[in-house]
Amino acid sequence: SLLGASAGLRPVYDLDAEHRRTDALAACAAVPTLLTALYRLGQGLEPVEPREDLSYAANYLYMLTGSTPDPARARAVEQYLVSTVDHGFNASTFTARVIASTGADVAACLVGAIGALSGPLHGGAPSRALDTLDAIGTPDRIDPWIRQRVLAGERIMGFGHPVYRTEDPRSRMLRSLAESFGGPLVDLAVEVETRVEAILAELKPGRELHTNVEFYAGVVMELCGLPREMFTPTFCAARVVGWSANILEQAEDSKIIRPAARYVGPPPPQPLPMAS
């Protein structure tokens, strides 16, 4: 929001397509730099300038850690970012489009999208899925830990999706990335996935609850050295590109998005009181 104000971004309603695209590109370029700088400042460190010789993902890791990243880890983060750029009319994308339909500036649209993303049911799940692996700890604890929470009606983070009724294809790709690194965390994640899907199939038959993108996203980001408090911001660094594309598309339509609602509350008193 500060970037939009300092840059003097104007409402998309008042701009032509070229100026809207320029504003969107500027925002997309600034977001990863802002995220990494704010993280480092919060850790008592100085921000790191991006390097022109590094790719987008490698620069992101470099600005975050201050060290030139291992190419394999930079490539893994890049694949994660590409896989999460856009995903239909999810909560944050729809929010961005609603704001764009009012004619607001690009920064306002992105701030609204980030507000929706901050909810744990949307962008906050990767770290929570990893917290689940930490809480389970060892393979022998998987079944009792999961059964207790499923029977208590709790949600198992990293499993289930509002759209997919089968395996999330992004999860499959990220699993292969994690397995290419290997190690105890990956071994535990694979075993947890197998057992949780079996337990959910037993206790919730017909629901088809499988791993979603957040489950292995957390594992991959952990293996690549990203701190957990940066998991959701990293998702944001990717999704800002998709949000911007949706904002530009919505700005082409001059109609405001205004959903209708049907009142389902208690009926008014009968007869209606007379106006005094």
CA angle 197, 204, 177 (to 5 degrees): 20
Tokens representing residue 201 in the block: 């199939």
Please confirm, yes or no, whether 210 is among the known catalytic residues: no
Instruction: Please identify which of the residues 161, 193, 210, 222 carries the catalytic annotation.
Output: 161
Instruction: Please identify which of the residues 19, 78, 202, 214 carries the catalytic annotation.
Output: 214
CA angle 156, 169, 159 (to 5 degrees): 5
DSSP per residue, 10-57: PPGGGS-HHHHHHHHHHHHHHHHHHHHHHHHHHTT-------TTS-HH
Distance separating alpha carbons of residues 57 and 26, to the nearest angstrom: 17
Q: What is the DSSP letter of 274?
A: P
CA nearest to 54, candidates 22, 27, 83, 77: 77
Please confirm, yes or no, whether 161 is among the known catalytic residues: yes
End-to-end, the C-alpha distance of the chain in Å comes to 48
Helix (H/G/I), strand (E/B), else coil: 258: coil
Helix (H/G/I), strand (E/B), else coil: 159: strand
Q: Which residues are catalytically annotated? A: 161, 214
